[in-house]
Structures are given as structure tokens and as C-alpha cells.
Chains A and B, each alone.
Chain A
């Protein structure tokens, strides 16, 4: 079955540290890729998405992600995190031919310490 993996379940960083959250999926076909963020007490918000074109995608709040097809990966990065980035981050994938439904990873809880 098609699946999405986020290997880092909990990440703790100090402010100004660089961030990279892993996301891998299991599917050899065409995919649409998303990163969502859920701040404490708030709803899911779209950070960025990739459908086609330049595999390096820039999103809101200084986040970016790179689609590496050969590695089935879509890792999220930010060069310098802030305390306000403390949140849960979800990678999600639409597997084309799979009913166009989002399949979510299990999420990564990021805590940024001052």
C-alpha cells in the first residue's frame, strides 16, 4: 500500500539552528506533495506544495522543500528556526490514481527553545 513516512517524531532545536524534516513515500508513479503545519491550538495550514516543475519549492515563513524523485523524498528545510516555529509538521502526498486523496505522514513535533 502507498504510504508516507516521517522518521523524526520529535525534534528539539535551539533558535537559529537549521531544520530538516524528512519525508519519504512509497510509490513509483506521479505524486503531488505537501507540507502542512499545525501550531498549538490551531488548524492545519499549508506551508508549501509541489506538483511539477522546479523540485525546490519555497513556501511561507521561510520554509522550503526539495523533491528528490530518485529518493522518493520531500524533505522540509528552514535555515534558521524561530521559537514561533514550534508546531507539528505533517508531510502529505496525493498518489495519482489513488482517488486523489491526501495520505498523511505521522507528523513531526518540533520544539524550538530560546
Chain B
């Protein structure tokens, strides 16, 4: 099946610093990728839709200046959490959509902000 990778798998950073998370579709091209947050024992919350070569579309309530998304190629999207604060600590998951509109999910990145 289609494989999506994320890097890093976990990261610890100090408050006020920025963290970049990469999402790659390894064996297919994805014009659209998605970024989610997952809180403990809860479902996934869509943060933004990332379209290759264009600006991301953010969900209501998600700060676009805080969560910078870049979809520079058909296999790579990045999420940068800028000026991170402890409340940004979460599990961030990306997914990539194939041409058949099926989404495949990455393993997630655990972010802890001290």
C-alpha cells in the first residue's frame, strides 16, 4: 500500500523556538496533503489542507502565521510550528491523498514544548 513518512517522529523544544515537521509520500505523488492534530483519546482534528504549489487552506481557528505549511513538491509537505508554546504540545499527523481521493496517513510526530 501507499506509504507516508514523517520526520521527526518526536521532538522536544524550548518555548519560543520553531520546529519543522516533514511529511513525505514515498511511493506516490500527492497534490494534496493534510495536517492534523490528535489529542489524547480523541479523534483527529484537521488543521489545514496543503496543496502543491499553492497556499494552504486553514481550518477555522487555526492560526496560519503560527502553523506555516509549505507544499513544495508532489511528495513533500512541511509544517513549521513557529514560536512554540507548551499548549502546542501535541501529536501532529499528516496524510497524503492519492489520485483516487484516498488518504494515507503518516506515523505522526510527537511535539513536546517545554
Contact = CB atoms under 8 A, between A and B. Distances in A.
A106 B43 contact: yes
A43 B46 contact: no
A101 B1 CA distance: 21
A40 to B, nearest CB: 13
Interface string B34-66: 100000001110100100000001000000000
Secondary structure class of chain B's binding surface, majority of residues: strand
Contact of A46 (B1, B93, B106, B107): B1
A106 B104 contact: no
B101 A100 contact: yes
Contacts of A45: 105
Given A99-B49, A107-B43, A36 B102 contact: no
B2 to A, nearest CB: 9
Given A49-B102, A101-B49, A43 B34 contact: no
Contacts of B105: 36, 43-45
Nearest to B103: A102
Interface of B: 1, 32, 34, 42-44, 46, 49, 57, 93, 95, 100-108
